[in-house]
Amino acid sequence: MSVSNSDINAHDTVRVELDSRSYDIHIGHGLLHEVGPKVLEFAPGGRAIIVTDDHVNTAHGDRLRVVLEANGVSHETVCVTPGEPSKGWPVFHDVVEAILASHAERGDLVIAFGGGVIGDLAGFAASVVRRGMGFIQVPTSLLAQVDSSVGGKTGINSPHGKNLIGAFHQPTHVTIDLDVLKTLPPREFRAGYAEMVKYGLIDDEGFFAWLEANHGEVFSHGNALGRAVANSCRSKARVVAADERESGARALLNLGHTFGHALEGSVAYDGERLVHGEGVAIGMALAHRFSNRLNRCSADDCKRVEHHLQAVGLPTRIQDIPGEHPSVPALMEFIQQDKKVKRGSLTFILTRGIGSAYIQNDVSPWEVATFLETELSS
């Protein structure tokens, strides 16, 4: 159990150790004001290109621009349509060309100001403009704050599957302002919460138990929220530092994601029906039940995971997705296109119980398909 009991209304810093690509994550209330000084620090004399979406721009854009102007940083804003469909070729093309049209130079900074879609999209755009510009992550959704803004995975979706096109491109700095979460829709907050639960399920049963006890205070934006965010970032930073390019242990972060991505793909990334964190919640529940079917995980642990996810309003079954259920062949097509595939056999993150996830190679597609048949007919 690694959650600090001290009050972290004060700012917290998590360091991501990656040699010359190391950077800090700052976590706290009212931190948007640090972005101006950070641009001056990392790009002296440089300009900022804010990549954001209409929702975030309306809610917080002016505050960010005021902060930049107060520090004498000239800026431009590139604004895209909110939602997962923006994480594809057409918008990627437009963002890259807009950054170039702003006459951005290699030493200027992109500011990824938004949720996971914006972070992945803007980070990937920054990685390819002039073969690599720096960028600051200013995540505005809980999911982006605890997961996607940290670790350098950037990219877009292909018709062949999610996140199949992208780059490892570490941010120059991450600013997490907890205040921006106050305008986040409850459904999005829950979706981000699923990724926090994941860190407990992977290797920190104590954190999972702490979340079981404190989720009320997390959801009411009490002190527990900052503690949970900082603890999640610390977990992720540790894994990323040990395995930046996912040649080994970083794959543990995919717990629930192979199933989750397949579910998202099977509803054509329709955020009305399923957002990423919900897919991960169902995926984590499936990973535990699949592990149980393979005699690796107790039924009690499966139940405990389901109960906690349900307690905060997250789905745990494929049938919880509104609309027509995806077919097993459709799900298998996405699962076999996942990046975790190697030489035809599947790699899954399975678990021996809460806090004891592990990487299982050589999972047969047949076993997975049979399990999914059972799930869908239960």
Footprint (CB under 8 A) of its own copies, residues 196-235 = none
**With b meaning 16 or more CB within 10 Å and e meaning fewer, what string describes 71-90?**
bebebbbbbbebbbbbbbee
Q: Which helix (H) or strand (E) holds 210?
A: helix 205-219
Closest residue by Cα to residue 230 from 33, 56, 12: 12
Judged by beta carbon, residue 17 or residue 89, the one nearer its own copies is: 89
- The sign of the dihedral angle between the CA atoms of 335, 337, 341, 346 is positive
- The sign of the dihedral angle between the CA atoms of 364, 351, 225, 232 is negative
Residue 65 vs residues 40, 145, 172, 338: alpha-carbon distances, Å: 14, 21, 19, 39
Closest residue by Cα to residue 218 from 184, 175, 248: 184
The catalytic residue among 254, 288, 292, 340 is: 254
Assess 40 for contact with its own copies (CB under 8 A): no
The catalytic residue among 34, 246, 278, 375 is: 246
250 is known as an active-site residue:
yes
Of 27-35, 166-174, 234-242, 257-265, the segment contacting its own copies by CB under 8 A is: 166-174
Footprint (CB under 8 A) of its own copies, residues 137-156 = 153, 155
Judged by beta carbon, residue 60 or residue 250, the one nearer its own copies is: 250
Judged by beta carbon, residue 160 or residue 352, the one nearer its own copies is: 160
195 is known as an active-site residue:
yes
Distance CA 347, CA 246 (A): 13
Assess 105 for contact with its own copies (CB under 8 A): yes
Place of tokens 């570490």: 170
Distance CA 40, CA 59 (A): 24
Instruction: Give me the 229-248 binding string for its own copies, x by CB under 8 A, dash otherwise.
Output: ----------------x---
261 is known as an active-site residue:
yes
182 is known as an active-site residue:
no
DSSP 8-state class, residue 47? -
Instruction: Work out which of 221, 339, 359, 376 binds its own copies, going by CB under 8 A.
Output: 339
Distance CA 151, CA 18 (A): 10
Instruction: Work out which of 89, 299, 307, 373 binds its own copies, going by CB under 8 A.
Output: 89
Assess 18 for contact with its own copies (CB under 8 A): no
Place of tokens 């529940």: 285
The catalytic residue among 34, 84, 188, 195 is: 195
339 is known as an active-site residue:
no
Judged by beta carbon, residue 316 or residue 347, the one nearer its own copies is: 347
246 is known as an active-site residue:
yes
Judged by beta carbon, residue 92 or residue 189, the one nearer its own copies is: 92
Assess 376 for contact with its own copies (CB under 8 A): no
Assess 342 for contact with its own copies (CB under 8 A): yes
Would you list the DSSP string of 259-296?
HHHHHHHHTTT-TTT--HHHHHHHHHHHHHHHHHHTTS
131 is known as an active-site residue:
yes
Judged by beta carbon, residue 17 or residue 97, the one nearer its own copies is: 97
Instruction: Work out which of 72, 132, 206, 323 binds its own copies, going by CB under 8 A.
Output: 132
Judged by beta carbon, residue 134 or residue 353, the one nearer its own copies is: 134
Assess 107 for contact with its own copies (CB under 8 A): yes
Say if strands 173-177 and 23-28 run parallel, antiparallel, or are unpaired: parallel
Closest residue by Cα to residue 327 from 256, 266, 286: 266
Residue 205: CB minimum distance to its own copies, A: 31
SS3 201: helix
DSSP 8-state class, residue 2? -
**Catalytically annotated residues:** 131, 153, 195, 236, 246, 250, 254, 257, 261, 276
Where on the chain is the footprint of its own copies (CB under 8 A)?
45, 89, 93, 96-97, 100-101, 103, 105-107, 127-132, 153, 155, 158-161, 164-168, 245, 336-337, 339, 341-343
